[in-house]
Structures are given as C-alpha cells and as structure tokens.
Amino acid sequence: MTSRRIGALSMTPTLVRHHPNAASPPATDAGARARDWAEIQERMLVPLYEAAYERLEVGPATRLLGLGCGSGLALLISASRGAHVTGVESDRARVALARERLLSDAPQSGGREGAPHGTTRLFEGGSAEVCDTAAPAYNLVTAFEPLGCAAGDSDGLTAALESAIPLAERGSEVVLAGWGPPERCATSAVLRVASRLAESPRAVGRGWRPALRDDLEDVASRAGLKPDGSGRVACPFGYADMDSAVRGLLSTGLFDAAVRATDPAQVTKELTEALHPHVRRDGTVWMSNVFRYLIARTP
C-alpha cells in the first residue's frame, strides 16, 4: 500500500532550528510550551501515526475519535486520508493549536468538509464532551499519547477508554501507543534525569518511569478491550540543535515533577548534560527509539 504524506512530513523527523546558542530555560508559559510541542516534538511520532493508519486502512469510511489529540497532527494526517475525525484534548493551549491546524477556515464549534479532508471536530476536555446522539458511532478510537512513561499514566487512559467505548460501534478498533523496551530507546537514558530529579520530598506529580512489556495489554484488559494485533515502529528523535532538543523534551510534560522538585535551571542543565552523548559533529541531536502500538477491539 502506498504511504501517504502531509506536506513535508515524512518517516524521518524534520530538524527544526530555533536558537543556535546554548539551551534556553524551559518555557513556563503554557502557550509557549504547547507551541514547542507542536513545532518540535509532536512530529517525532509521525512514523507511529502512519504505521497504524496504513495497517488499519484509514480512509473515507473511517469515523475516528482521537483521545488526547494534542495539537492535532495525528488528526491532520488521518483527515488527509479522508477520515472524519473528532479530537478531544484537556490541554487548552494544545487545543488552540489544533484548531489553527485543522479548523482555520471553519467555525470552531463545527468542522470542515470537502476533499481531501473529511469532517473535523475538536473539543476541549474528555470523551464526555463529544456525546452526540445525532452523530454516527465511531469505528476507530486512537490514544497516541505514549503510555508507559509516567507513573500512573495508565489510570487516566483506562478511564478515558471506558468513557469512549460507548461512543464506538461494537467491534471497533482501538489503537493504544507506548514506548518500546528501554534498551531500544536511546531517549530512556535521558528521561532518567526526570526520574532522578523528581525523587525529592518536594516533588509533586508523576515522574518518568521505564516502560513495562505489558503496559498496553494491561490497560486494554482493564478497559474491557480485546487485543487484536500489535506492532513496533522506529521513531527516532532528531533535533537541529541542543536548544531544540531541550525545548522539545520539556514540552512533553515528563520533566514537570523534576522542575517542581528542583528548579528550571537545574533541570535544563542536567538535561543538557544527558543529551551530550547524542550530539553529532554537525551539532544535531539524534536518538534512536522504538515505539509499540496495540490494536484492540471494543466489546
């Protein structure tokens, strides 16, 4: 099956240069950090999105509900294949950026329709926000925010899936995503900085933890889903310079507990040091990673 692309997006992450100098302190403004996510980090997962969509043959017959849709890149790719998509996201700043991407020429309360895109709807909040008895049931639910990187993250996803299942047709496909084995993810060594710094009496929130082999299967089981296949995808993290790497990783939220437990300057310093082994001669930063996806079905 022929692979599809959106503009300059490809299976290889685009290197985006922001500042040629040393890494900057982490963005504290929610809008700035959301933009760092949208412009730097989110594109690293494009191979994951495309692999799942190719396998499931996403197209005009697809009615997709994206949980935790971020700033909308995965939705954009599926909509370009003709899918009718609905996205929900709790981060207000990311929702605003998703609207810029997907609904720039349509009312924010609705969507746009026409080739090659299907209908697009975006909601701030969770699955409960999209209940609409007049709309056809969904036949694909995606949760692409990688599971297995923050202690307790599976609890929130299980609850989101339980709310979404009644909105989907019986036997609909559900895609869950997560980090691969730590030994196959170079970024795992860098993320350990977040875990170490968060081990403090002042720490508030969930720090990073290594992914476990059955993370996705455990969540599917708790949500009442039946596993129906899985796969692994190479998702290298490539950055134009150290500043972009630091900003991109901080935008994931995995270092939030570390920042609260110490201070932004210390987190930036130690993150920069951890990234040095991954700097190439030309100044770019490159880390090989493998991500997993699980396909399950609703009861």
Domain CATH number, residue 235: 3.40.50.150
Is residue 193 in a domain? no
Domain of residue 148 covers 30-187+208-244+286-297
Residue 219 CB burial class (10 angstroms; 0-12, 13-18, ≥19): buried
Question: Which are the contacts of 134, defined by CB distance < 8 A and separation ≥ 6?
Answer: none
CA 66 to CA 260: how far, in whole Å? 30
Is residue 73 in a domain? yes
Is residue 255 in a domain? no
Is residue 134 in a domain? yes
CA 80 to CA 60: how far, in whole Å? 9
Is residue 35 in a domain? yes
Is residue 115 in a domain? yes
Counted domains in the chain: 1
pLDDT tens, the chain, 299 aa long? 434 433 334 333 444 344 433 455 455 588 999 999 999 999 999 999 999 999 999 999 999 999 999 999 999 999 999 999 999 999 999 999 999 988 764 433 333 343 346 678 888 876 666 666 556 799 999 999 998 666 566 778 899 999 999 999 999 999 999 999 989 999 999 999 988 888 754 444 455 666 677 889 999 999 999 999 999 999 999 999 999 999 999 999 889 888 988 999 999 999 999 999 999 999 999 999 999 999 999 99
Is residue 59 in a domain? yes
Is residue 258 in a domain? no
